[in-house]
Amino acid sequence: MASTFVRTYGPGFNQQFGTVSGGVATLQPSDSATDYTISFQSANQTVPVGTCSANQVLVGSGTNTHASSANFTFDGTTLYANAKLNFGAVANASPASGDFWYDSTQKTIAARTSGATAFNSGVLYVGTSTVTVANSTTETSMLGAGVGSATLPANFAVVGRTIRVRSHGFISDTATPSSTLKIKLGSVTLITSTGTLPSGLSNAEVTFEFVFTFRSIGATGTVIGQGISRITSGAFVSSAARALVMTAPATIDTTIANAMDVTYQWGTASASNTISMTNPIIEVIA
C-alpha cells in the first residue's frame, strides 16, 4: 500500500510531493523549492541502500554515480570537492552521548562523548612568511602573510572563549640593547613589555606565547591574559625570559571585528640587532 508525502504550507493548505510504496520513498516536488525535510515518526527508520544520482543524498553502501557537488555519502565514499554539511545553530541544553551539533551559545561545533561535552578548537592563522626587524627603531608587526586570518570577526567572542598567540624565530644583537614587545587586539594594546636583552646573541632561539580569555562580551567586553617571551642561546647554555603580565582585564568591543597583532621595536638601530619570526600561529583553544 502506497503512502503519500505531504508538504504543509499552512493550516488547510497541503501539497503532495512524493509517495511511499513497498518501503521505498520517492520525492517528486512540483514546485521550485530546493530544501526539503524528511521527518520519521517512529524510531529505527532505515534509508535503503541504493544508487545516488544528481541532487541526491546516499545513506548506506550504495554507489554514487553522479560526479557533482550536490552529492555526498555517509558510507565512507570520498566526498566531492564542493560537498559540505551545514548544521543549524541549536542550544542543546540536554545533549546525549553521540550528539554532534553547532552550538548557538559557544558558536562552535560540539560533540557529546561519554557524558562530557567537548567544544571544537582550531587554528585561525598560520604565518607562511618570515618577518624580520633589523637596524631600525620603528615599531613593526611580526605577523606577515599567512593562511587564515588574524582578525577576530564581529561577535566571534563568547564568554570563556580563549585565544592563544605564539611564535618562534631567532634573534641576534650587539651590546645590550633594549626592545619592546606589544600584543594588540583591535585598537587596544593588551601587553607592552620593554626589557634589556643579553649581549652578544647570535641566532638564538626566541619564542613568545600569550593566552587570553574573554570574561564578558558586547560593546564593553573584557579580556585578560598572561604569557611569556623567552630567548635560548646555545645548546642548554643559557636563557632569558620576560613575563607578559596583565594585572587587570582590558575593555574590548566584541561587536566589531578586531585584528590581532604582535609588534617588536628595537631601542637601538644596528645592523647587528635583528629578530626574525618564522612560525607565528593564532588558535582558539576554548
CA distance 84 to 71: 9
With beta carbons less than 8 A apart as the criterion, state whether 161 and 213 touch: yes
Q: Tens digit of pLDDT per residue, the chain (286 long)?
A: 445 444 444 444 445 555 555 555 555 555 554 444 444 444 444 444 445 444 444 444 444 444 444 444 444 444 454 556 677 788 888 888 888 888 888 788 888 887 888 878 789 999 999 999 999 999 999 999 999 999 999 999 999 999 999 999 999 999 999 999 999 999 999 999 999 999 899 999 999 999 999 999 999 999 999 999 999 987 656 788 999 999 999 999 999 999 999 999 999 999 999 999 999 999 999 8
pTM: 0.70
CA distance 251 to 254: 9
Q: Tell me how many degrees the CA angle 15-21-27 measures, rounded to the nearest 5.
A: 40
pLDDT of residue 22: 52
pLDDT of residue 255: 97
Per-domain residue ranges of the chain: 124-284
pLDDT of residue 2: 47
Q: Tell me how many degrees the CA angle 11-17-22 measures, rounded to the nearest 5.
A: 120
pLDDT of residue 130: 98
For the beta carbon of residue 169, count every other beta carbon within 10 angstroms.
22
Produce one character per residue of 258-270: b if its CB has 16 or more CB atoms within 10 Å, e if not.
Answer: bebbbbbbbebeb
- What CATH number should be reported for the domain whose range is 124-284? 2.60.120
CA distance 134 to 264: 10
pLDDT of residue 247: 98
C-alpha gyration radius of the chain: 27
CA distance 223 to 244: 14
CA distance 1 to 23: 10
Residues in the chain: 286
